[in-house]
Amino acid sequence: MKKNNLAEKIKSLIRDIPDFPKKGIIFKDITTFLNTPVFSEYIDFLADKYKDLDFVCGIESRGFIFGAALAAKIKKGFVPIRKKGKLPFTTVSEKYALEYGFDEIEMHIDSFRNFKNPKVLLIDDLIATGGTAEAAIKLMQKLNANIVAAEFLIELTFLDGAKKIEELGVKVESLIKY
């Protein structure tokens, strides 16, 4: 399926929820897309695009959905990037700024096993300000990943998050832009 046709198909399935999680925000609810066969079409689209990876990294929690499905489809490893304190083994971590304070994400120190400079894709459902994705990329770089791209289903272009990622030398791909 062509990229534009798939984007329009998915866009028609995304539900807008006004004032969630707080007043003035229009939340893009993708659950109405995930529970359709179009989700499989999206994973097939990504699989065609990213055949030559060693690993797929997904950011908690919706990045797990896309990342695990894609990794299974292309028969490669999936690496979860989780909030601090959720992984059971030795980790590396990266802090990032929130509107009020900081948060932290982690990966297992051996996420890429014995690969030297593995080809890795970062994936998540949405990029807004880019803070979490920026921290994830810095984490992956600590483990010597060769980051092929950062892939997002949705990009909120007015928040300029993609620029932060591109400044780190990582290409940003998004199917749907608002």
Best CA proximity match to 76, nearest among 105, 43, 50: 50
Amino acid 58: pLDDT: 98
d(CA 135, CA 60): 13
Question: 75 — alpha (psi -120 to 50), left (phi > 0) or beta?
Answer: left
pLDDT at 100: 76
- Block mean pLDDT (10 aa), the chain, length 178: 91 97 93 98 98 97 97 98 97 89 95 96 97 97 98 97 97 97
* Domains of the chain with CATH codes: 51-177 (3.40.50.2020)
Strand partners, 95: 104
The pLDDT score that the predictor gives to residue 84 is 96
Active site residues: 62, 99
pLDDT of residue 168: 96
CA distances from residue 78 to 37, 73, 162 in whole angstroms, order as listed = 22, 11, 23
